[in-house]
Amino acid sequence: MKKRTTRKITNHAGETVTVTFTVDFAGASEDQMAEWALSNRIIAGQKVWRNLSAEAIRKLVDGKTFDARTIGRKIENPEEAIQKIEQSIEGMDAKAAAALLEKLKNKIKSK
């Protein structure tokens, strides 16, 4: 498999050049390609995880499984999630709020 890409490269002199090149993966094993992809996904996750406290990292990252397609997305800590829910229900009538609460209970039970 070959993949063609266009990238910007900035050298140590501060000069930026846009180049197009092809990377040939034909000689690489599946394990090698998986390791390269994993490295990329870890870097994407770390960009988000660095903003968390050590306690939050242990709670939200350790032992978890992440979808490779979404691993770099922001992780909300429980307090942020609760605050977002509270903001979304401001001004909501009691019937709609009760329905939302029921949905949240069912979602929590299914995990």
Return the higher-pLDDT residue of 79 and 2: 2
| Phi (first) and psi of residue 20, to 5 degrees | -120, 130
Ranges 1-10, 45-54, 56-65, 89-98, most confident: 1-10
| Its pTM surpasses 0.75 | no
Crossing angle of helices 78-89 and 94-110, in 10° steps, is 150
- The pairing of strands 16-24 and 2-10 is antiparallel
* Mean pLDDT (whole number) for 22-30: 96
Query: What pLDDT does 8 receive?
Result: 97
Question: Could you give the percent of the chain with pLDDT greater than 70?
Answer: 97
The letter for the amino acid at 15 is E
